[in-house]
Amino acid sequence: MSLDPVQVMKGQDPMALSPPPASNGDSKVSWDEKEGFCDSVGPKKPKSGPVRRARKVEGGIFFPKPENAVTIAVSSRVLFRTEKEQKVFEEKGVEEYLKYQVEHENEPFAPGPAFPFIKALESVNTRLRELYPESEELFDIVLVTYNHANVGVRLINTINHHNLFIERFCMTGGSSPIGYLKAWHTNLYLSADAEKVQEALSEGIAAATMFMPEKQIEVSETQLRVAFDGDAVLFSDESERIFKAHGLDKFFEHERENENTLLDHGPLKGFLETLGKLQKKFYAKGHRLDCPIRTYLVTARSAASSGIRALKTLRAWGLETDEALFLAGAPKGPMLEKIRPHIYFDDQMFHVEGAVEMGTIAAHVPYGIAQKYPHKKKSTNSAK
């Protein structure tokens, strides 16, 4: 059994133990192409006021209905860098903090860890609009912050400065944003606050805490790259539990015995699914090779053994990732540095920190058993 990380490309299957189901969705797109139904209505009725419709502008739809779009809610603390202001808040309290914000209102914030991800979403949207100008199946970005509305002007100035396409926001002035996340049909919530993220996860909303890398490696401006850990992110934490309770041997045994039993789903499965649906829209128009969305599975499982169950589960769900990297326990940092994702989801802080140290934009999904038993950090990096 090789200990080297194995890279499995979609389409080549060294593990063909059973014929894969036809998961290449070249033909039909699964979502209905709902027309902005109000647009087809004739002369406007004078009394009832505006008919609510997705606003159409030259070149496609720019304000999709939340239920039709892939809604990404991002907090101001991860979209922008607000460390200085955070410090004022922690040291001097909320009133001083607000005063500070207003005083510096015309100084835009610098980009934060989620910034490249959001920019990449916008470029995917541009490509989607070119191919499907009538469709509302786009990324819809909502700024959700529990900042006081006083900070609103500075945030809007910053959005203008960076030329971001964000027109929707909620500034909740201290109240929990969770109710609003649901109202916006949020598909993914990114925040700096682990508590809020956990609250969102418990309400069934995919969510993660983001961390600013010290050094920033360059990421693609034309292709959105999203990398996922397997257990407790795409899949449930079932196997993690076995590993934590009974060790590696038991884990392998359990996985072998249950090879043909599907793993249960994890909090980010739905998000991978929505990415897959958007990818299929590009394939349908002949853009498989230059698809602006690319997904990666980066797992500590090993290709020859425990990885099989993961792949089979994905197949059974009708999902796939463009690349699957089985590291067999090797550190993820170097692999991620090569991939350069706009975001990498992992349930273990140990891996998130390792990734961030090497410049990868990583997000922590505080789900499952790993939160109760944090990995003890080794002082040297001799994992072999």
Partner 1 sequence: QSDCTLVTAVSCHDIFDLQTGQSDSSPLAKGTAFAFIKAVQSVNERLVKLSEKQTLLFEVILLGKDCEEQAKSKIFDSAKYYLEIGKFCFCSKEKFERTLQENHVKLFLSSDRDDVHVPAALLCQQADQQVQNQLKVLFSGDLIGLTEDSTEYLKDLGFNDVQIHNFKAAKGRIQEFAMLIGEMRRRFGCEDSPLHTILMTVWGSRDICATALKTLRAWGLDVDEAFCLAGAPCTPILTVLQPHILWDDGLHN
SS3 content of the chain, % helix, strand, coil (to 5): 40, 15, 45
Burial class (CB in 10 A: 0-12, 13-18, 19+), 63: middle
Min CB(170)–partner 1 separation in Å: 5
Query: Binding residue for partner 1 (CB under 8 A) from 72, 74, 120, 170?
Result: 170
Residue 17 or 51 having the CB closest to partner 1: 51
Site string for partner 1, 26-65 (x = CB under 8 A): ------------------x-x-xxxxxxxx-------x-x
Residue 181 or 336 having the CB closest to partner 1: 181
Site string for partner 1, 72-91 (x = CB under 8 A): --------------------
CA-CA distance, 166 to 74, in Å (whole number)?
A: 10
Question: DSSP class of residue 137?
Answer: -
Cβ pair 353, 218 in contact under 8 A? no
| 180 contacts partner 1 (rule: CB under 8 A) | yes
Cβ pair 142, 112 in contact under 8 A? no
Residue 32 or 95 having the CB closest to partner 1: 95
Name the pairing type of β-strands 323-326 and 168-171: unpaired
Query: Which one of the listed residues 229, 237, 322, 347 is annotated catalytic?
Result: 229
Cβ pair 196, 177 in contact under 8 A? yes
Site string for partner 1, 121-150 (x = CB under 8 A): ---------------------------xxx
Cβ pair 302, 1 in contact under 8 A? yes
Query: Binding residue for partner 1 (CB under 8 A) from 23, 157, 216, 220?
Result: 157
From the list 241, 219, 221, 224, the residue with the least C-alpha distance to 232 is 241
| Phi, psi (rounded to 5 degrees) for 308 | -60, -45
Number of residues interacting with partner 1: please give it, by CB under 8 A.
40
Min CB(95)–partner 1 separation in Å: 6
Residue 53 or 244 having the CB closest to partner 1: 53
Cβ pair 383, 267 in contact under 8 A? no
Sorted by sequence, the CB contacts under 8 Å of residue 71 that are 6+ apart come out as: 139, 140, 141, 142, 184, 185, 186, 187, 188
Min CB(25)–partner 1 separation in Å: 29
Element (H, E) at 135: none
Query: Binding residue for partner 1 (CB under 8 A) from 160, 202, 260, 261?
Result: 160
Min CB(268)–partner 1 separation in Å: 24
140 is catalytic: no
Query: Binding residue for partner 1 (CB under 8 A) from 20, 104, 129, 167?
Result: 167
Q: Which of residues 334-373 bind partner 1 (CB under 8 A)?
A: none
Residues that bind partner 1 in the complex, under the rule CB under 8 A: 44, 46, 48-55, 63, 65-66, 94-95, 98, 148-150, 152-153, 156-157, 159-160, 166-175, 179-180, 182-184
Provide the annotated active-site residues: 229
